[in-house]
Amino acid sequence: MRYVEEFRDPTKARALLKAIARSAETLGASRAAPIRIMEICGGHTHSIFRYGLDKLVHEGIEFIHGPGCPVCVLPRSRVDEAVALAERPGVIFTTFGDAMRVPGTSRSLLQAKAQGADVRTVYSPLDALELARRHPDREVIFFGLGFETTTPSTALSVQQAASEGLTNFSVFVNHITVPPPLKALLEDPHMLLDGFVGPGHVSMVIGTHPYDFIARDYGKPLVVAGFEPLDLLQSVLMVLKQIRDGRAEIENQYARVVPEHGNPVSLAAIEAVYEPRPSFEWRGLGEIDASGLRMREAFRAFDAEARFQVGYGAPQGRAQVPDPEGCACGQVMTGRMKPTACPQFGRGCTPDTPLGALMVSSEGACAAYWTYGGARVAAE
Amino acid sequence: MCLGIPGQIIAISDPARQMGLAEISGVRREVSLAPVADRPLDRLVGEWVLIHVGFAMAVIDAAEAAATLEALRELGEAQEALDQMAEGDRALAASPAPAEGAA
Ligand code: SF4
């Protein structure tokens, strides 16, 4: 139990772990027949491993890691398109640091930069906007990544650019939405999940109602959770209680930050700037209907794909790029397979020589297993 | 990039653009207050907010801010966020603003 010592409030952690164990036993959960709870968000995956929660909870609880790491879901083709944009003459390509090392077919953005492309890591799309103001003679492109938590930031930046009349700023939009992939997972007959721990910071923007369908149509409980260890344990307990009582509801454990209806300004900005794409390609999963966003007609001038005719904006269509040989990124990303079961884990694929983004990002399941689970996994 | 970091708003820097100066773990940075500007901007000074990629996304209380910051430190995410801010500042410093700019 060495991990428990690291909690700020070990007494509370112990009490929660005990209550979880009691519920698991009441429900007859065991290692052979566990209750399977998916944590959707990569931040949660990171937290679970950092604190060893997967080992601390009753053995009848299995955490299934969900598709909630926005860098991890990018297929190689998308990275290739980013590299192609970055290598255009006159372009300053700006990105969050997370995306720099994600491998494309022949190179990552970091490698493109080493070969002379002007790629800059920024903290915020506002930094990119400022670069565009300072370089009226250059095209400044921002790599728009992330779920609903970061979508408002690019939407508001584009609105700002429009109001200033900036004509050299655009976004390579890779924003995705959480509900569609969950629906795809729930539709999969091989994917047996008993409940969900939902991403708190996404719900800070969208509220709790976009998840209603999970309880209503699929009869599964979902608890929106903060990312601190006690938040996660409490949320797991809330899921178990719902199962025990035969309820399926959307509950909010993180009400101190998450308003039921989300953030109205952010939602309005998303709605004004973006619309669902007909479909969007996910690593290992292929195209999922209406799972990604693109700019509305009124903002097309700020859409890098339309502006430079790449990706979904290319008149000849997008290039199909297969996943690397033997990689199981798609399987792992959707919780169908544990990272250690991927034939490349620790062999062809390590943090120094990543094959997939799941090994690059701190929120990726493979990196989490590697960083926190390496010794443990080897011992099992 | 998905986890926000708490910061305290110490001044309104550009009311027209809804920008404010935040102190984040000892580092000062300009952030957009647009998502929490459903109240008069002046009233945000002194408040704690959760900042995601340069945008104040929610007003939180001081205790929540402290707990969140500590959890982020334990996860190594606080340092990561600060590194990313520094990286962003470097990207801008490489392109100084025209003479009158306050970079
Ligand atoms: S170990 Fe590497 S190749 Fe295998 S699933 Fe993880 S990131 Fe993909």
Query: What's the domain count of chain A?
Result: 2
The more confidently predicted of residues A159 and B72 is A159
- Give the pLDDT mean for B77-97: 81
**pLDDT, position A1:** 42
What 8-state DSSP symbol labels residue A273?
A: H
Same domain, A79 and A216: yes
Same domain, A314 and A334: no
* Chain-centre distance for alpha carbon B91: 17
Pocket of ligand 1 (CB under 6 A): A 327-329, 332, 339, 342, 344-345, 349, 355-356, 358-359, 366
Asked, for residue B98, whether it belongs to a domain, the answer is: no
Among all residues of chain A, which has the CA nearest to that of B49?
A257
Same domain, A241 and A113: yes
Asked, for residue B14, whether it belongs to a domain, the answer is: yes
Same domain, B44 and B9: yes
Q: Which of residues 79-98 of B touch A (CB under 8 A)?
A: 80-81, 83-85, 87-89, 91-92, 94-98
Name the H helices within chain A.
10-26, 42-50, 53-56, 76-86, 109-114, 125-134, 151-164, 179-187, 200-206, 212-218, 229-245, 264-273, 304-308, 329-333, 365-368, 374-379
Give the count of Cβ contacts less than 8 A between chain A and B. Answer: 141
Same domain, B45 and B79: no
Please identify, among A326, A344, A371, the residue that sits at the C-terminal boundary of a domain: A326
Same domain, A319 and A185: yes
Q: How many CB atoms lie under 10 A from the CB of residue A59? A: 14
Q: What is the ipTM, given to two decimal places?
A: 0.86
Same domain, B12 and B51: yes
Same domain, B55 and B86: no
Q: Nearest residue CA, atom 8 of ligand 1? A: A329
Going from the C-alpha of A373 to that of each of A191, A335, A346, A368, the distances in angstroms are 24, 17, 12, 7
- Phi and psi torsions of A7, nearest 5°: -70, 145
Instruction: Give me the percent of chain A exceeding a pLDDT of 70.
Output: 97
3-state helix, strand, coil in chain B (%, to 5): 35, 30, 30
pLDDT band at B102; cut points 50, 70, 90:
very low
Asked, for residue B67, whether it belongs to a domain, the answer is: yes
Same domain, A280 and A316: yes
Same domain, A366 and A269: no
**pLDDT, position A125:** 96
Same domain, B55 and B20: yes
Same domain, B41 and B71: no
Same domain, A207 and A225: yes
Same domain, B9 and B30: yes
pLDDT band at B7; cut points 50, 70, 90:
very high
Q: Is the pLDDT of residue B100 over 60?
A: no
Same domain, A304 and A374: no
Same domain, B36 and B52: yes
Same domain, A200 and A86: yes
User: What is the rounded distance in angstroms from the CA atom of residue A236 to the CA atom of residue A74?
Assistant: 29
What DSSP line would sit under A103-166, residue for residue?
--SS--HHHHHHTT--EEE-SSHHHHHHHHHH-TTSEEEEEEEESTTTHHHHHHHHHHHHHHT-
What DSSP line would sit under A68-117, residue for residue?
E-TTTT--HHHHHHHHHHHTSTTEEEEE-GGGTT---SS--HHHHHHTT-
CATH number for the domain spanning B25: value is 2.30.30.140
Contact at 8 Å (CB) between A104 and A79?
yes
Same domain, B75 and B49: no
Please identify, among A309, A326, A343, the residue that sits at the C-terminal boundary of a domain: A326
Same domain, B68 and B53: no
Same domain, B42 and B69: no
Asked, for residue B11, whether it belongs to a domain, the answer is: yes
Q: In this complex, is the C-beta atom of B99 within 8 Å of any C-beta atom belonging to chain A?
A: no
Q: Do B57 and A126 touch (CB under 8 A)?
A: no
Asked, for residue B80, whether it belongs to a domain, the answer is: yes
Asked, for residue B96, whether it belongs to a domain, the answer is: no
Going from the C-alpha of A32 to that of each of A16, A20, A61, A160, A289, the distances in angstroms are 23, 17, 10, 54, 35
Residues in chain A: 380
Same domain, A302 and A334: no
Residue B14's domain comprises: 5-59
Q: Do B60 and A256 touch (CB under 8 A)?
A: yes
Contact at 8 Å (CB) between A220 and A196?
yes
- Give the pLDDT mean for B18-38: 93
Residue A341's domain comprises: 329-379
Contact at 8 Å (CB) between A295 and A302?
yes
Asked, for residue B102, whether it belongs to a domain, the answer is: no
User: What is the rounded distance in angstroms from the CA atom of residue B17 to the CA atom of residue A343?
Assistant: 51
Same domain, B36 and B75: no
Same domain, A365 and A240: no
Distance from CA of B28 to the nearest CA of A (A): 13
Same domain, A172 and A286: yes
Q: Do B67 and A228 touch (CB under 8 A)?
A: yes
Weakly modelled stretches of chain A, pLDDT under 50: 1, 375, 378-380
CATH number for the domain spanning A183: value is 3.40.50.11740
Please identify, among A293, A310, A326, the residue that sits at the C-terminal boundary of a domain: A326
User: What is the rounded distance in angstroms from the CA atom of residue B85 to the CA atom of residue B30?
Assistant: 10
Query: What's the domain count of chain B?
Result: 2
**pLDDT, position B67:** 81
Question: Testing the interface with B: which of A49, A93, A118, A126 to mutate, by most B Cβ within 10 A?
Answer: A126
Contact at 8 Å (CB) between A218 and A186?
yes
pTM (2 d.p.) = 0.90
User: What is the rounded distance in angstroms from the CA atom of residue A193 to the CA atom of residue A323?
Assistant: 26
Asked, for residue B99, whether it belongs to a domain, the answer is: no
